């Protein structure tokens, strides 16, 4: 097996082990929350009823329906069996709606918000950090303090500030939702314009914080590379500054790719909180609703989907990193 093949197999093993642990915790943690979800559902359904026997029968019916009457270990194996067939269960709070149906409607909104925001913030932040390190002067004096300030603001704090200023005070953007509620989703210009208006503030709140963090990291790595011996030697040889900058940027990018892989979970978590602030119809808003209702299947479905997305993103970045890492390339050539 080639060096790169061994690298992939090793990474796959550790990510698979992480997934097994995530699935186990995904089942156990929601059930550690204090409270009984069936009691909450029955109390809402039986408001005004005085017959205690009827209320008791309704309670027992829902216990059996949701499988909560069984021991925890048996519930776990039923959960794994259903998971293998793609069945995430039935939502407690939105009974009898399947969890897969709820998540299917939420995933496009979350992907449409988070994926572009994280990628745009990462790219712009790295470019600004490299420019600040290479050009110095006014670029460094302006970009670095601003990036440091923005990076120190949590996602949800910036989201609340932007919501108050641009939506509540200036009334430039809508306060909540993914589109105007009086509209029916269609392939029309009016609907897409409404989606874009609702998308702007959550998108900017994620992008700005991401830019700040990436700009600081890229600036530090670029300064380190600019002070390396190979840069000084290249200048003495008379190599063009543009070509030197290309190699500096490329070498400084490797730790940034690793940093993206390590911090993507934090960024996704912060982005989900932004969805809650803006009542955006994504996974974050549904997970918040599920926690309030003690909706075990929906909580497990949301957290499992988030864990899978983070692991897949990290695994993809590791594959890219292994492909461009000169150490693995060198080992590959020696192996050949």
Q: Assign residue 128 a region (left: φ > 0; alpha: ψ between -120 and 50; beta: otherwise).
A: alpha
Residue-level pLDDT at 62: 65
| Residue corresponding to tokens 């216990």 | 63
Task: Give yes or no for residue 1 having a pLDDT over 80.
Answer: no
Domain 99-296 carries which CATH code? Answer: 1.10.3720.10
Q: Could you give the CA distance from residue 103 to residue 89 in angstroms, rounded to a whole number?
A: 12
How does pLDDT run across 133-187, given as a tens digit for each residue? 877 777 777 777 887 787 777 777 888 888 888 888 888 888 877 777 777 777 7
CA angle (83, 260, 106) in 5-degree steps: 40
Q: Assign residue 35 a region (left: φ > 0; alpha: ψ between -120 and 50; beta: otherwise).
A: left
Strand, coil or helix: what is 162? Answer: helix
Contact 147, 211 (CB under 8 A): yes
Q: Could you give the CA distance from residue 108 to residue 282 in angstroms, rounded to a whole number?
A: 8
pLDDT category, 90, cuts 50, 70, 90? confident
Give the CB-side neighbour count of residue 325, counting CA atoms within 13 A.
Answer: 17
Residue-level pLDDT at 96: 74
Task: Give yes or no for residue 330 having a pLDDT over 60.
Answer: no
How does pLDDT run across 107-136, given as a tens digit for each residue? 888 888 888 888 888 888 888 888 888 777
Task: Give yes or no for residue 40 having a pLDDT over 70.
Answer: no
Phi–psi pair at 307, nearest 5 degrees: -60, -45
When mean pLDDT is compared across 13-17, 222-226, 264-268, the lowest value belongs to 264-268
How does pLDDT run across 240-293, given as a tens digit for each residue? 877 877 777 877 777 777 667 666 666 666 667 788 888 888 888 888 888 877
Phi–psi pair at 89, nearest 5 degrees: 95, -175
Residue-level pLDDT at 53: 65
Please give the average per-residue pLDDT across 221-238, as a whole number.
80
Residue-level pLDDT at 51: 59
State what percent of residues in the chain have pLDDT above 70. 79
């Amino acid at each position: 097996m080639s060096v790169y093949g061994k690298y992939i197999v090793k990474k796959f093993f550790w990510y698979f082990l992480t997934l097994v642990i995530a699935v186990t915790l995904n089942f156990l943690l929601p059930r550690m929350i204090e409270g009984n979800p069936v009691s909450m559902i029955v109390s809402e359904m039986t408001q005004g009823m005085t017959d205690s026997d009827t209320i008791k029968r309704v309670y027992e019916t829902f216990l059996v329906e949701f499988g909560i009457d069984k021991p925890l270990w048996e519930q776990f194996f039923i959960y794994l069996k259903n998971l293998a067939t793609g069945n995430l269960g039935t939502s407690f709070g939105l009974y009898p709606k399947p969890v897969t149906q709820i998540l299917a409607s939420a995933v496009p909104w979350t992907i449409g918000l988070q994926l572009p925001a994280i990628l745009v913030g990462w790219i712009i932040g790295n470019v600004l950090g490299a420019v600040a390190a290479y050009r110095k002067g006014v670029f460094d004096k302006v970009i670095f303090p601003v990036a440091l300030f923005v990076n120190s603001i949590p996602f949800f704090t910036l989201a609340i500030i932007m919501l108050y200023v641009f939506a509540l005070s200036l009334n430039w953007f809508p306060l909540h939702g993914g589109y105007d509620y009086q509209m029916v989703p269609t392939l029309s210009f009016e609907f897409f314009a409404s989606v874009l208006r609702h998308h702007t503030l959550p998108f900017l709140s994620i992008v700005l914080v991401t830019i700040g963090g990436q700009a600081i990291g890229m600036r530090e790595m670029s300064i380190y590379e600019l002070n390396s011996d190979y840069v000084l030697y290249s200048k003495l040889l008379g190599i063009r500054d543009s070509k030197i900058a290309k190699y500096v940027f490329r070498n400084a990018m490797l730790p940034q790719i690793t940093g993206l892989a390590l911090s993507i979970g934090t960024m996704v978590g912060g982005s989900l909180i932004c969805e809650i602030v803006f009542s955006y119809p994504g996974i974050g808003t549904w997970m918040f609703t599920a926690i309030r209702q003690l909706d075990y299947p929906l909580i497990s479905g949301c957290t499992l989907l988030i864990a899978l997305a983070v692991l897949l993103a990290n695994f993809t970045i590791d594959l890219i990193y292994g492909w461009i890492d000169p150490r693995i390339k060198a080992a590959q050539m020696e192996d050949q």
